[in-house]
Chains A and B, each alone.
Chain A
Amino acid sequence: KAGVTQTPRYLIKTRGQQVTLSCSPISGHRSVSWYQQTPGQGLQFLFEYFSETQRNKGNFPGRFSGRQFSNSRSEMNVSTLELGDSALYLCASSWTGTENYEQYFGPGTRLTVT
């Protein structure tokens, strides 16, 4: 069974631009969560989607948004990029996200903002 895939793996953007990251969950998984990983803040939860609805949201500004499609694939978007948005963005999927919450992570997208 294929794992969680994320595209692109690496991205370089300029301050003020916007970016879209993509995540394909494991087949059959309906919950997709996004996390930001930085050396200073560690792993921080961004948001979770289930059946195309945002079910849970972390403490990030409105510049960070996401969506989920009917096939459970998810995208996250960051508008008006700032230098501090440079991070590894991890996507994780699970069956429903509510039972023991065993999540499976993708390899991440490394975003560099210059």
Chain B
Amino acid sequence: GNSVTQMEGPVTLSEEAFLTINCTYTATGYPSLFWYVQYPGEGLQLLLKATKADDKGSNKGFEATYRKETTSFHLEKGSVQVSDSAVYFCALFDQTGANNLFFGTGTRLTVIP
């Protein structure tokens, strides 16, 4: 079946530190992969996506590369800011299976000045 395993949090970093949030997946078909971000009191916002192997998604300084050989989609940012504090969700959509997103458990990131 489909599932997403995400790095446990919470993660606390100092401003300008390097961020990595690990995400691995299991899928029955050829999934598209996503990172969503949820700020306090808000819904989910699409941060970036990749639709096939070796694709790199990027947005707002965040990047993630679709690695089929390791079934991973790790989120990275070179220099985090206080405004990046939020909960990050890795998700997959398998077009050959159920027509919905499967989410990881979320990783809470806190960036301190």
Verify if B22 is at the interface (C-beta below 8 Å from A).
no
Q: A79-105, CB under 8 A of B: which get 1 and which 0?
A: 000000000001010000111111111
Beyond A43-B89, A100-B49, whether A56 also contacts B99 by CB under 8 A is yes
- B84-108 residues with Cβ-Cβ distance < 8 A to A are 89, 93, 95, 98-106
Verify if B58 is at the interface (C-beta below 8 Å from A).
no
Residues from chain A with a CB closer than 8 A to the CB of B89 are 43
Residues from chain A with a CB closer than 8 A to the CB of B82 are none
CA distance A90 to B51 in the complex (A): 24
Residues from chain A with a CB closer than 8 A to the CB of B103 are 42-43
The total of chain A residues at the interface (CB under 8 A) is: 25
B90: min CB distance to chain A, Å: 11
Residues from chain B with a CB closer than 8 A to the CB of A104 are 46
Verify if A55 is at the interface (C-beta below 8 Å from B).
yes
CA distance A107 to B102 in the complex (A): 19
Verify if B43 is at the interface (C-beta below 8 Å from A).
yes
CA distance A100 to B93 in the complex (A): 7
- B1-32 residues with Cβ-Cβ distance < 8 A to A are 32
Contact at A98–B43, with CB atoms within 8 Å? no
Contact at B42–A101, with CB atoms within 8 Å? no
Beyond A100-B32, A101-B32, whether A90 also contacts B44 by CB under 8 A is yes
Other contacts beyond A45-B98, A107-B42: 12, CB < 8 A:
A6-B43, A42-B106, A43-B89, A45-B102, A58-B100, A90-B44, A100-B32, A100-B49, A105-B44, A105-B45, A107-B41, A108-B43
20 contacts between A and B (CB under 8 A): A33-B100, A33-B101, A42-B103, A42-B104, A42-B105, A43-B89, A43-B103, A43-B106, A45-B98, A58-B100, A90-B43, A100-B93, A101-B32, A101-B93, A101-B95, A102-B46, A105-B43, A105-B44, A106-B43, A107-B41
Q: Which 5 A-B pairs have the closest CB atoms?
A: A101-B93, A105-B43, A43-B103, A105-B44, A45-B100
